A and B are shown apart, each in its own frame.
Chain A
């Protein structure tokens, strides 16, 4: 394949969507140090980087910067200026702006902390329910897996716990629904859940479990949930 024939494929290769046979051809040229291809790829990467910078401008929340720096163990307020520039900037800013900003910042912090406490309380309750189910004397467990993998724990009095990995978030407008199926009976709804972007999921359905529970299954359902499954289960765990 000539370089002219490859001309329209360098950008596609640069963003990982080139088709065959062009992808293999470019890869082979690059592997043997083809200077034309290397130059073309450099040009293509510049063009694709510029395309990325052309997305409609949007502003992230002010908390994001602090969050990113905290995640590498660096707590900081302000813009991270050098001391000299920070001093100059401080002189340039009026005290009223400073005090107004502080007040707003404290109010934002209070809202953020309240929200954090609320979320942590919910999470703590959920985890203590999960722990109670796992450690229950009459708890049975069963594994499932082929793609999404994990375990279910069923305590007849305390409820059902599902822990899964490798489970992509349900598509837009859909949600995962867990079902407990008794021997010879119909599936009983056991709560809706969504997985994390990392593919992890932890779902607790607290409370007494239907008698003779034999199978725990999960289906994809409309966002509002269903009373009976509307799709085939993709996770099935049979209890011992």
Chain B
């Protein structure tokens, strides 16, 4: 299964060219984008919605959204992988919130996946070995610390919503979030310079 991914990376001649081809509406570029990131995007969305069929619908929406908004992306400085994941996460959490009858903070999420925000980042961030290092850093967190990070990232809960969900005082939740983020930053220090 790695062969198409490797060939896609070689054939694309780099991310900048891939973005420029997407901006020229080259459908083959969309195929290469999918080969490069489709599995990561699907894994993330599946983790949020926990239903394969719904996840595939949302993956399709994600790639179409990127296809339709890529004109606003900076091909020189932009890192398309992180942007793609931000769009995917927002689509999935938006679905989760609407399905659960929770208030949809659409404007707030909209602000987090604007293409202009994903510049000055390492282009191959998501397909380097750094994802593995993040997993290791997450595994080192205490169960409560890991849970609050997962509730925030994979379910889109604010600290107040986490406190309600977990039945814990808000102050305790804030402490877990603070400590978890500090530990992640410390562990990834070489990856994500503070």
Residues of A within 8 A of B (CB): 8, 11-12, 14-19, 41-43, 45-61, 64-65, 67-69, 71-74, 76, 79-82, 85, 89, 168-169, 171-172, 197, 199
Contacts and interface: CB of A to CB of B under 8 A. Distances in A.
Given A46-B191, A65-B31, A68-B30, 16 more contacts: A15-B152, A15-B153, A42-B121, A49-B85, A51-B153, A52-B89, A58-B42, A60-B42, A60-B52, A67-B60, A68-B59, A68-B63, A73-B27, A79-B31, A89-B3, A171-B99
B151 to A, nearest CB: 9
B153 A46 contact: no
A148 to B, nearest CB: 11
Contacts of B117: 41, 45
Contact of B42 (A64, A69, A85): A64
Contacts of A15: 89, 112, 152-153, 156
Nearest to B104: A168
A68 B42 CA distance: 13
A17 B158 contact: yes
B115 interface: no
A47 B184 contact: yes
Interface of B: 1, 3-4, 7-8, 10-11, 27-28, 30-32, 34-35, 38-40, 42-44, 46-47, 52, 54-57, 59-60, 63-64, 67, 79, 81-82, 85-86, 88-90, 95, 98-101, 105, 108-109, 111-112, 117-118, 120-122, 125-126, 130-131, 134-135, 138, 149, 152-154, 156-160, 177-178, 181-182, 184-185, 188, 191-194
Contacts of A76: 27-28, 31
Nearest to B106: A16
Contacts of A11: 181
Contacts of A51: 134, 138, 149, 153
A69 B27 contact: yes
A2 to B, nearest CB: 15
A19 B10 CA distance: 43
Contact of A12 (B10, B46, B82, B177): B177
Closest 4 CB pairs of A and B: A74-B27, A49-B82, A80-B31, A55-B47
B8 A65 contact: no
B60 A68 contact: yes
B99 to A, nearest CB: 5
B161 to A, nearest CB: 8
A55 B177 CA distance: 19
Contacts of A52: 40, 44, 85-86, 88-89, 153
7 contacts: A12-B159, A15-B89, A50-B126, A53-B126, A54-B131, A58-B47, A68-B60
A65 B32 CA distance: 10
Given A8-B177, A15-B89, A171-B101, A60 B134 contact: no
Contact of A74 (B30, B42, B98, B184): B30
A197 B57 contact: yes
Contacts of B185: 47
A16 B98 contact: no
A180 B1 CA distance: 54
Contacts of A53: 40, 44, 81, 85, 126, 130-131, 134
Nearest to B119: A42
Nearest to B170: A19
A57 B111 contact: no
B82 to A, nearest CB: 3
A59 to B, nearest CB: 7
A152 B156 CA distance: 36
Contacts of A41: 117
B154 to A, nearest CB: 7
Nearest to B95: A197
A85 B39 contact: no
Contacts of B100: 171
